[in-house]
């Protein structure tokens, strides 16, 4: 079946904006999150964490904590050395490239390399008591110089994070196609910028939480994770346990955003402690622990060069990237920046591309995947650079995009880096955007507003992203070298009465798989989505699966569901054919019934067929086994490449520097919709996330490596009040890669959004002389940029971190209480 054919459909559930099946229990407070779970005899864990960014541990005195009446046990890293068979693994082993990889244990051994590093664990019967007792663990530290700035870390004579490596450089990795150097040398115009993509947090509303429950010689780990099966695989190695003795369950998970695409030391620690003590052990991170020790994202300095002809045709793009990886690696840390390479060059036909990545150790927590993971960085810089080039050449930003788009007739399009964009129609989404946004009218309005002192700007982002992770041959050991594969599994079981259960290896944490996957299965089974239960997140249920991240679940996991359901449908047709005395090829599924082609009066429902498959009313042909259950393991042939066009309209209060987004229009193309409402939700959330990075959110460490954004007071996650209404529209260009024709949409909004904001700001402020700004576009930094452009005495130019901290009161961003941006009562 080609992608453009209608699916073998029953009742056309695919494409309908049906409400999310998973919501009623969640909105009624009946969800099951790990921290809500109460197991008899549970010990609570509190973790003693390093206040130092870099230090030798010269002594740990646990005596006072051990004597606390509620404390059962206290362990240090040395105490548990025998309980771990291996450290936290990092799974990228690129052919021909050595990555300096430090050992990373759940509890520090002898030294600490970042603030928040786990040093000891205190266990007891009461969560509050262990928090008290943890404060009584006395750790002696001998501080060492901290390395915070990744570029300084690469300079000769910099203090070292790891003495044994003799350098702070972790690795270099590069890829090139064509001859970018020559094209740059030959170009009419060359534009160069240094673009900082700052560090951010995942910040899901539900923090991490784990309970390890020992049962016989095995352990069940309930954990708030995006990857239960991978977690089991990795934990078995770390703990030296047979995989079958570990069960990992991800119950309801309250968001992840990549921060739970991880196997953390605390998860392994809970399992080790549960085995050691024979009791359930539970740990839930506090929000401050999350900010310090759940992996961060981005943190890249890019030196970008774009070469073009005088009429605006881009001939080359070159990037040198310095990536701040922190002190230790989590599972994918050094790979994340490189993961953006398939969309270097964006949606433009750029013949020469060269990318060189350098990883750097610093005394910070690890960076790893946060929504977009490498693609936001590449998209941000190419989209910002297109506007920079447009300004340089005095060409309209719309026009310069059109001149460079990969032509619609060129798909599948192979980039100079050997990546094949599956399908696209970039002019189409831009055309549709411009139906919503009348650019001529906007420019007139903008001019009028400027006369009245209102500085309004518009910014475009015409993005393409790569998702559907992933064709295993491209990213696995045979490809770029991840020691993993990225197919997905689905098992579809039709019960004797005709309802069905779908087991997926994907592991949702808010996306809506229960609904979307049910729609896919329902159409192929001829039943109602309400009769399809979608199970996930339990390694004891259904086959191995690779989890949910990288906008992969629908195009890989959903495709697997579709394929398994088609297998069931084919078997159902054979059963039906036998009972109706017809040929299997004459049975069609239409209007929710399996009927003999041309004789609609001769038909059976799925319930009737399922009953017969389980309890045959007559003898069935011997080649039909009983039961109605099929499994699919689907490994995609290629990535998928969703795309779209977004426009951001914003106002800048040039006296204060404050930015207000007044309009957002998003036209996205992620292939045919399974459920348009789920897409819309993902676009809203994704854009909010991108706006968050562009205007508000930033993880900041000071020069000594202290984390200064340890709570939501200082880490300014935007709220609904900060966000505009989102105007959304779609185009549907099917992917030839999978039978559903679908692409992904979970990260698209985030990837699209940040350059649109920056481009809009520059558009607003260009008359004042502001030609470029790094994110985050905080009021002070914007004001400073205006001052600097105007040459006024307005204080120092914006620093990278946008700060000049006066610690007089040691207070946070804008209030005294570091826990919550609230105010009011306690006298």
Distance, CA of 399 to CA of 390 (rounded, Å): 9
User: Per-residue string for binding with other proteins, 77-106, x by CB under 8 A?
Assistant: ------------------------------
Tokens of 576: 């039906």
Q: Are 535 and 542 in contact (CB under 8 A)?
A: yes
The residue (of 26 and 813) whose beta carbon lies closer to other proteins is 813
- Closest to 465 (Cα-Cα) out of 646, 673, 676: 646
The residue (of 83 and 289) whose beta carbon lies closer to other proteins is 289
**Phi, psi dihedral angles at 212 (to 5 degrees):** -105, 125
**Position 48 contacts other proteins (CB under 8 A):** no
> Which is it for strands 488-494 and 455-464: parallel, antiparallel or unpaired?
unpaired
Distance, CA of 498 to CA of 710 (rounded, Å): 52
Specify the stretch interacting with other proteins by CB under 8 A; choose among 6-14, 100-108, 353-361, 709-717: 709-717
Distance, CA of 606 to CA of 209 (rounded, Å): 41
Q: Which of residues 552-581 bind other proteins (CB under 8 A)?
A: none
The residue (of 135 and 703) whose beta carbon lies closer to other proteins is 135
**Position 70 contacts other proteins (CB under 8 A):** no
**Position 287 contacts other proteins (CB under 8 A):** yes
Distance, CA of 466 to CA of 488 (rounded, Å): 17
Minimum CB distance to other proteins, residue 282 (Å): 13
The residue (of 49 and 593) whose beta carbon lies closer to other proteins is 49
**Position 792 contacts other proteins (CB under 8 A):** no
Specify the stretch interacting with other proteins by CB under 8 A; choose among 28-36, 391-399, 478-486, 719-727: 719-727
Estimate the share of the chain in helix, then strand, then coil, as percent rounded to the nearest 5: 30, 25, 45
Tokens of 461: 């982002």
Minimum CB distance to other proteins, residue 317 (Å): 34
Question: Which of 91, 97, 131, 535 is close enough to bind other proteins by CB under 8 A?
Answer: 131
Question: Which of 58, 182, 530, 816 is close enough to bind other proteins by CB under 8 A?
Answer: 816
- Closest to 92 (Cα-Cα) out of 374, 332, 341, 337: 332
**Position 706 contacts other proteins (CB under 8 A):** no
Distance, CA of 638 to CA of 635 (rounded, Å): 9
**Position 137 contacts other proteins (CB under 8 A):** no
The residue (of 155 and 806) whose beta carbon lies closer to other proteins is 806
Specify the stretch interacting with other proteins by CB under 8 A; choose among 111-119, 593-601, 614-622, 777-785: 777-785
Minimum CB distance to other proteins, residue 252 (Å): 21
Residues 6+ apart with CB under 8 A from 54: 111, 112, 113, 114, 143, 144, 145, 146, 147, 159, 161, 363, 705
DSSP 8-state assignment for residue 704 = T
Q: Are 220 and 70 in contact (CB under 8 A)?
A: no
Minimum CB distance to other proteins, residue 74 (Å): 17
Question: Which of 525, 700, 753, 775 is close enough to bind other proteins by CB under 8 A?
Answer: 700
3-state secondary structure of 631: strand
Residues 6+ apart with CB under 8 A from 776: 198, 693, 694, 695, 696, 697, 698, 802
Question: Which of 205, 441, 615, 721 is close enough to bind other proteins by CB under 8 A?
Answer: 721
Minimum CB distance to other proteins, residue 259 (Å): 17
User: Per-residue string for binding with other proteins, 159-188, x by CB under 8 A?
Assistant: ------------------------------
**Phi, psi dihedral angles at 178 (to 5 degrees):** 75, -155
Distance, CA of 640 to CA of 421 (rounded, Å): 7
Minimum CB distance to other proteins, residue 38 (Å): 17
For binding to other proteins (CB under 8 A), which residues are involved? 46, 127-128, 131-132, 135, 286-288, 655-656, 658, 696, 700, 708-709, 711, 713-714, 716, 718-719, 721-722, 778-780, 783-784, 794-796, 802-806, 808-809, 811-827
């Amino acid at each position: 079946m080609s992608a453009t054919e209608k699916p073998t459909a029953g009742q056309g559930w695919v494409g309908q904006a049906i409400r999310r099946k998973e919501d009623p229990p969640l909105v009624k407070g009946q969800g099951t999150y790990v921290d809500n779970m109460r197991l008899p005899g549970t010990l609570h864990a509190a973790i003693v964490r390093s206040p130092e960014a870099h230090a030798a541990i010269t002594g740990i005195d646990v005596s006072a904590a051990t004597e606390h009446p509620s404390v059962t046990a206290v362990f240090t890293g040395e105490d548990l050395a025998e309980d771990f068979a291996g450290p936290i693994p990092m799974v990228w082993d690129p052919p021909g490239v050595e990555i300096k990889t430090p050992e990373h244990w759940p509890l520090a051994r002898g030294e600490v390399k970042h603030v928040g590093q786990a040093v000891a664990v205190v266990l007891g019967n009461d969560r509050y008591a262990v928090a008290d007792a943890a404060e009584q663990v006395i750790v002696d530290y001998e501080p060492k110089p901290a390395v915070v700035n990744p570029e300084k870390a690469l300079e000769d004579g910099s203090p070292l994070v790891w003495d044994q490596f003799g350098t702070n450089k972790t690795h270099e990795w590069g890829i090139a196609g064509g001859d970018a150097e020559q094209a740059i040398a030959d170009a009419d115009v060359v534009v160069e910028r240094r673009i900082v993509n700052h560090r951010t947090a995942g910040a899901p509303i539900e923090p991490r939480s784990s309970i390890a429950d020992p049962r016989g010689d095995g352990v069940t780990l309930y954990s708030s994770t995006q990857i239960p099966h991978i977690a089991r695989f990795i934990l078995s190695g770390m703990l030296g346990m047979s995989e079958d003795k570990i069960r990992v369950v991800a119950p309801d998970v309250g968001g992840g955003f990549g921060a739970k695409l991880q196997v953390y030391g605390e998860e392994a620690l809970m399992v080790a402690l549960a085995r050691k003590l024979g009791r359930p052990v539970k740990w839930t991170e506090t929000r401050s622990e999350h900010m310090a020790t759940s992996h961060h994202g981005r943190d890249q300095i890019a030196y970008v060069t774009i070469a073009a002809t005088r009429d605006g045709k881009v001939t080359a793009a070159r990037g040198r990237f310095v990536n701040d990886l922190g002190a230790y690696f989590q599972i994918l840390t050094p790979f994340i920046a490189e993961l953006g390479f398939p969309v270097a060059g964006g949606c433009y036909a750029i013949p020469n591309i060269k990318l060189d990545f350098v990883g750097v150790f610093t005394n910070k927590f690890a960076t790893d995947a946060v929504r977009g993971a490498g693609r936001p960085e590449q998209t941000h810089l190419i989209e910002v650079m297109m506007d920079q080039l447009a300004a340089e050449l005095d060409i309209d930003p719309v026009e310069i995009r059109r001149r460079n788009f990969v032509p619609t007739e060129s798909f599948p399009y192979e980039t100079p880096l050997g990546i094949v964009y599956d399908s696209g129609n970039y002019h189409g989404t831009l055309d549709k955007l411009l139906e919503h946004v009348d650019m001529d009218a906007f420019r007139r309005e903008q001019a009028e507003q400027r006369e009245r002192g209102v500085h309004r700007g518009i910014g475009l982002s015409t993005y393409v992203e790569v998702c559907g992770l992933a064709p295993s041959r491209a990213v696995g050991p045979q490809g770029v070298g991840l020691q993993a594969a990225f197919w997905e599994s689905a098992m579809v079981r039709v019960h004797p009465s005709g309802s069905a259960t779908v087991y997926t290896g994907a592991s949702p944490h808010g996306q809506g798989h229960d609904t979307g996957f049910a729609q896919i299965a329902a159409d192929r089974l001829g039943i109602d989505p309400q009769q399809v239960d979608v199970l996930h997140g339990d390694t004891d249920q259904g086959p191995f699966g690779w989890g949910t991240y990288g906008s992969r679940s629908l195009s890989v996991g959903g495709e697997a569901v579709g394929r398994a359901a088609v297998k069931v449908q084919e078997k159902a047709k054979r059963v039906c054919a036998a009972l109706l005395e017809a040929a299997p090829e004459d049975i069609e599924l239409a209007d929710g019934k399996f009927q003999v082609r041309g004789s609609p009066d001769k038909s059976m429902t799925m319930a009737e067929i399922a009953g017969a498959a389980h309890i045959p009313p007559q003898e069935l042909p011997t080649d039909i086994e009983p039961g109605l259950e099929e499994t699919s393991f689907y490994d995609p042939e290629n990535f998928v490449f969703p795309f779209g066009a977004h426009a951001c309209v914003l106002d800048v209060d040039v006296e204060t520097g404050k930015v207000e987004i007044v309009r957002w229009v998003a036209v996205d193309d992620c292939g045919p919709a399974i459920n348009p409402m789920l897409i819309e939700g993902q676009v809203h959330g994704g854009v909010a996330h991108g706006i968050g990075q562009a205007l508000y959110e930033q993880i900041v460490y000071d020069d000594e490596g202290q984390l200064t954004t340890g709570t939501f007071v200082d880490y300014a996650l935007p709220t609904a009040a900060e966000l505009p209404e989102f105007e959304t529209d779609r185009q549907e260009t099917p992917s030839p890669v999978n039978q559903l024709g679908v692409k992904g949409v979970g990260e698209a909004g985030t990837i699209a959004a940040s350059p649109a904001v920056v481009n809009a700001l520059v558009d607003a402020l260009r008359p004042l002389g502001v030609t470029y700004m790094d994110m985050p576009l905080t009021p002070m930094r914007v004001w400073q940029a205006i001052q600097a452009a105007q040459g006024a005495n307005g204080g120092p130019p914006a620093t990278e971190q946008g700060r000049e901290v006066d610690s007089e009161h040691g207070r946070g961003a804008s209030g005294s209480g570091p826990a919550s941006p609230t105010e009011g009562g306690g006298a």
